[in-house]
Amino acid sequence: MKKWLLTLVILCCTTVNVFAAEEGVEDYAYYGFEPDIVTNYISNRKKLGFVKISVELMVKDPTDLVSLEHHDPLLRSAIVEILGNQAEDKVKSLSGREEIRRECYETVNRLMEQEVGKAIVVNLLFTKYLYD
């Protein structure tokens, strides 16, 4: 009886693992820039405009987090440069924000490809986006 029960438990565990593999369960990891990125943008007013964002980079392989941490200053600098060259209208609009996010994503992947030989970032997310 114990043998039969043990065989049934092993069979069930194997079946669950097969279904998990078929569903394409990925082991994504996230890298967040600390502290938040704060920079100025091109303002139409006399008052200086600024934007403060939290950026999270999503990667498929958790071992890629080491590369992202190593190249953090390079990636942060590129994002600050992109944000600093944006017009006020673009920073404050939803469609403009998405364009900025996409430009940051493409730039980060291009830089990582130059540095480590492959584009490792799956997605770039703005988890906080404040402007004045």
Question: What confidence tens digit (pLDDT) does each residue in 47-79 have?
Answer: 889 999 999 999 999 999 999 999 999 999 999
Per-residue pLDDT, 21: 46
Per-residue pLDDT, 20: 44
What's the Rg (C-alpha) of the chain? Answer: 22
Residue 103 φ/ψ region, left for φ over 0, alpha for ψ in the -120 to 50 degree band, beta for the rest = alpha
- The span from the CA of 64 to the CA of 32, in Å, is 13
Question: What confidence tens digit (pLDDT) does each residue in 82-126 have?
Answer: 999 999 999 999 999 999 999 999 999 999 999 999 999 999 999
User: How many other CB atoms are found less than 10 A from the CB of residue 80?
Assistant: 16
- For residues 2 and 130, which has the higher predicted lDDT (pLDDT)? 130
- The span from the CA of 39 to the CA of 33, in Å, is 14
